[in-house]
Structure 1
Amino acid sequence: MKVSVYDTYVPIESGKLMHFDILVEENTTVDKVYSYGDTYLKNKGIDNYRLTIQECKFCHIEEASNHLEEEILKEGYYILEMENCNF
């Protein structure tokens, strides 16, 4: 499965940037990508933030590993936490 990777940076209360990638099946609409990102942020306790193109941008397409493919087929997306995601 080919997946689209969206590079995402969200400011958090500490003044740092939360950096994570949203991986979705290729050709997923950007509105759906933002929806997945908003769900992730709510799960992190950030309920009043809505992603836009300012924070979340298409980066590239890659071939998914078996594990990623399973997660994306099950959930619709996969979040790859990069920086400042666990606070």
Structure 2
Amino acid sequence: MKVAVWDTYVTKKDGSIMHFDILAPDEISDLETIYDFGKKYLKSKNEEDSTLTSKECNFCHIEKATEEIVTSIEQKGYFIIEMEGC
């Protein structure tokens, strides 16, 4: 499975930056769907009030998914790679 990687930087409640990647099947082109995946993740981190738009989230590249990523996408529709401040 090929996935699109969306590089995301969100300002948290405390003013620090949360950096994470949203991975979704590469055929998903609807930006609102990608943002919804990010908002679900932010809610799981108690950061649901953080802004997530094209300013914070941009397409980065396409890559081949690992088994762990494929499993998550089959269950939730997306996978998150936590980078910084998560």
* TM-score computed with the length of structure 2 as normaliser: 0.91
Report the aligned-residue RMSD.
1.1
Q: CA separation in 1, counterparts of 2:31 and 2:40? A: 14
TM alignment of 1:54-69, pairs within 5 A: 54-69=55-70
Mapped contact 2:3–2:64 kept (Cα < 8 A): yes
Larger displacement relative to structure 2 (5-14 or 41-50): 41-50
TM alignment of 1:1-87, pairs within 5 A: 1-28=1-28, 29-85=30-86
Displacement after TM superposition at 1:16 (Å): 2.0
Gaps of 5+ in 2: none
Q: State the aligned residue count.
A: 85
Displacement after TM superposition at 1:14 (Å): 3.3
Gaps of 5+ in 1: none
Displacement after TM superposition at 1:25 (Å): 0.4
Identity %: 46
